[in-house]
Amino acid sequence: MSLTTGARLDVASRTDARSRLLAELAAAPARKGYAIAYDLLGNRAEAEEAVQEALARACEAIGDLRDPAAAPAWFLRIVTTMCLRTLRRRKLKRALFGWMSSREEAEVPVDTGTEAIAERMHGSPAPAPSDSLVDRETLGALMERLDALSAQQRAALVLRYGHDLPVGEIAEMLGVEVATAKTHLVRGLAKLRDLMEEHR
């Protein structure tokens, strides 16, 4: 076999490996990425866009990935980065133009949507019918108050309490040190408590 033929086979095998890896990312990690993106952004279209952009970026940079086993965590970090950018842009728009947060109130039915969000965020069962109005109001207030946190604090809280991720994994997804992730969690929780107290 000539050097040229060997080089062509090597390129072909690398291309094939990249294609398989991207196909794997587009399955389970993309679904998990979408769940995280939706919980972070509260908007179906923005969540889908974040995952699509993350897949596109993963496709561009997959040659730099040294350990294929790390691909799912690497991909989720890209998704989280896309969501953080969206949250920062959203906050900037509100600051500059006074735009309100784009939450999909019309898309999620009042009777079932908030219970699903509550279950996803807190692991709690759907409230009893007699408590549903109060719980809906409390959950609505909680989701509004999350918008008041920094993008990193919001992401840290959603990843920790909405997806039950360990602090080390949260730090990796946010691209920060573990101590910084802990700080985001502590300060985010404290600020959220203060904001919820003001709501009462």
- Flag whether 58 is in a domain: yes
Per the domain annotation, does 2 fall within a domain? Answer: yes
**81 and 36 Cβ atoms separated by less than 8 Å:** no
To the question of pTM greater than 0.85 for the whole model, the response is no
pLDDT in tens, 103-152: 444 343 333 333 444 444 444 444 444 444 445 555 556 667 788 889 99
Look at the chain and report how many structural domains it folds into: 1
Residue whose C-alpha is closest to residue 22's, from 50, 49, 61, 48: 61
- The answer to whether residue 196 is domain-embedded is no
Tell me whether residue 8 is in a domain. yes
Q: The domain that contains 27 carries what CATH number?
A: 1.10.1740
Neighbours of 130 (CB within 10 A): 7
Domain membership of residue 139 (yes or no) is no
Which tens digit of pLDDT belongs to each residue from 13-35? Answer: 666 767 777 788 877 888 999 99
Residues 6+ apart with CB under 8 A from 55: 22, 25, 26, 30, 75
Buried b (16+ CB within 10 A) or exposed e, 83-113: bbebbeebbeeeeeeeeebeeeeeeeeeeee
What domain range includes position 83? 1-101
